[in-house]
Amino acid sequence: MTHNLDDSSSAPTNAPDLMTAWTTGGDGIENLAASRVPVPQPGRGEVLVKITALSVNYRDLMVINGMDGWKPARQVVPVSDAVGTVVGVGEGVDRFDLGDRISAMFLPKWRSGALTRETYVDPVGGPVNRGMLAEYVVLDQDAAVAAPRTLDDEHAAALPVAAVTAWHAVARRSRVQPGETVLIHGTGGVSLFALQFVLALGGIPIITSSSDQKLDRARRLGAAHTVNYSTTPDIAAEVMKITAGDGVDHVMETIGGENLNQSLRAVKLGGTISFIGLIAGLAAKVNTYEFVTKNVTIHGIETGSRDMFEEMVRFIDEHRIVPVLDSIYSIHQIGEALQHLAQGRHLGKIVITEKL
């Protein structure tokens, strides 16, 4: 589990005494505050990590802007996704060595198997648990995963939430097989990872976007078919044309809300829908007749376990998958990076590096 700022006592010899950490009370990007605090010291079974790159997710905006239940009750360090180098090890550490590149898991206690009450706790990056937006963090060695050896830090930082969620949906829940069709909504972080995983598994991705420019890019990334949902709002009718009236084998429902009705119409009899997104709201009026009579399986997807993260890292290395990055900002431009995410014009992950 990650530590609170006030858990820190003294710094190990290969790190400075003080570091910068950014905190939020959920009162907006402009109020994100940088402060000088002691570098935490790893205890038994823990490692000290020098953060080298981070990436931002829609959820980070929910925490920083204090939306719904994501508003922190006190000042917390936000942002869940990062990669860093192990620069200190506590007693009893046997999973990592000095110099290893690692990332924190979003749900630190979910190691394998089904999500339970005991493991669905302490998501990293607020509103409860501290996150990665600091120069150094201490991690429980069991709550971290080694970065893919084929990716540099900026690309590896893109993985912890969006890629693990996409892997959970595509590989573990929908279990996409070669030749199967998969409808992917939008071109956000989760969707582009889903596109890359579906392609590597031999599936046939159909992707939607509000932008023809983004759809061109998606085709260059390997999308077999594209639908602009601004000019063609009846996505399901278009998908039926593409699939000769059958519907798709699987849907990645990254939008949520009443968009689920499009997915239910677009999926084939007996198909699956991986329900991931909350963009269109936390509740919806759903066509339950379509759901029942089509024999559809809808899976709720909550990020993923360590086991899934490690399986995905092996897959990324084996298939040489390179995450799509939209832009790389310096750590000093964290506000601009978050504003860019909020504008929604990005294609691929927005990354922050400590190196620029």
Ligand X SMILES: NC(=O)c1ccc[n+]([C@@H]2O[C@H](COP(=O)([O-])OP(=O)(O)OC[C@H]3O[C@@H](n4cnc5c(N)ncnc54)[C@H](OP(=O)(O)O)[C@@H]3O)[C@@H](O)[C@H]2O)c1
Binding residue for ligand X, selected from 18, 115, 121, 280, defined by CB under 6 A:
280
Bridge-based pairing state of the strands 248-253 and 81-89 = unpaired
Phi-psi region of 235 (alpha: psi -120 to 50; beta: other; left: phi over 0): alpha
Binding residue for ligand X, selected from 41, 103, 129, 187, defined by CB under 6 A:
187
Q: What is the dihedral of CA 289, 254, 23, 6, to 10 degrees?
A: 70
Distance CA 51, CA 251 (A): 35
Bridge-based pairing state of the strands 18-23 and 33-38 = antiparallel
- Quick one: 270 or 344, whose CB is closer to ligand X? 344
Q: How far is the CB of 204 from ligand X (least distance, A)?
A: 19
- Quick one: 19 or 107, whose CB is closer to ligand X? 107
- Chain residues 194-213 in contact with ligand X, contact rule CB under 6 A: 209-211
Q: Which stretch binds ligand X (CB under 6 A): 92-100, 108-116, 253-261, 329-337?
A: 253-261
Q: Which stretch binds ligand X (CB under 6 A): 3-11, 197-205, 277-285, 288-296?
A: 277-285
- Pick the closest to residue 185 from 253, 241, 247, 250 (CA basis): 253
- Quick one: 103 or 187, whose CB is closer to ligand X? 187
Report CA-CA distances (Å) from 147 to 106, 122, 156: 14, 22, 6
Does 302 bind ligand X (CB under 6 A)? Our answer is yes
Angle at 155 between CA 324 and CA 195, to 5 degrees: 35
Binding residue for ligand X, selected from 8, 41, 196, 254, defined by CB under 6 A:
254
SS3 189: helix
- Chain residues 145-164 in contact with ligand X, contact rule CB under 6 A: 161-162
Q: Which stretch binds ligand X (CB under 6 A): 24-32, 39-47, 132-140, 188-196?
A: 188-196
- Chain residues 83-142 in contact with ligand X, contact rule CB under 6 A: none
Q: Cβ atoms within 10 A of the Cβ of 332, count?
A: 12
Helix (H) or strand (E) holding 38: strand 33-38
Does 262 bind ligand X (CB under 6 A)? Our answer is no
Q: Which stretch binds ligand X (CB under 6 A): 6-14, 39-47, 73-81, 251-259?
A: 251-259
Asked if 284 and 256 touch (Cβ cutoff 8 Å), the reply is: yes
- Quick one: 160 or 203, whose CB is closer to ligand X? 160
Q: Which distant-in-sequence residues (6+ apart) come within 8 Å of 305 by Cβ?
A: 105, 107, 110, 111, 112, 113, 115, 119
Residue closest to ligand X (Cβ): 188
Does 174 bind ligand X (CB under 6 A)? Our answer is no
- Quick one: 38 or 323, whose CB is closer to ligand X? 323
Q: In this structure, what token pair is assigned to residue 225?
A: 């078919």
Binding residue for ligand X, selected from 39, 133, 176, 276, defined by CB under 6 A:
276
Q: Which stretch binds ligand X (CB under 6 A): 68-76, 110-118, 186-194, 263-271?
A: 186-194
Q: Which residues pair with 144 in a beta bridge?
A: 104
Please say whether the dihedral angle defined by the alpha carbons of residues 329, 333, 336 and 341, taken in this order, is positive or negative: positive
Binding residue for ligand X, selected from 23, 55, 75, 191, defined by CB under 6 A:
191
- Quick one: 206 or 301, whose CB is closer to ligand X? 301
Longest dimension (CA), the chain: 66
Chain residues binding ligand X by CB under 6 A are 57-59, 161-162, 165, 185-191, 209-211, 214, 229, 254-255, 259, 276-280, 301-303, 344
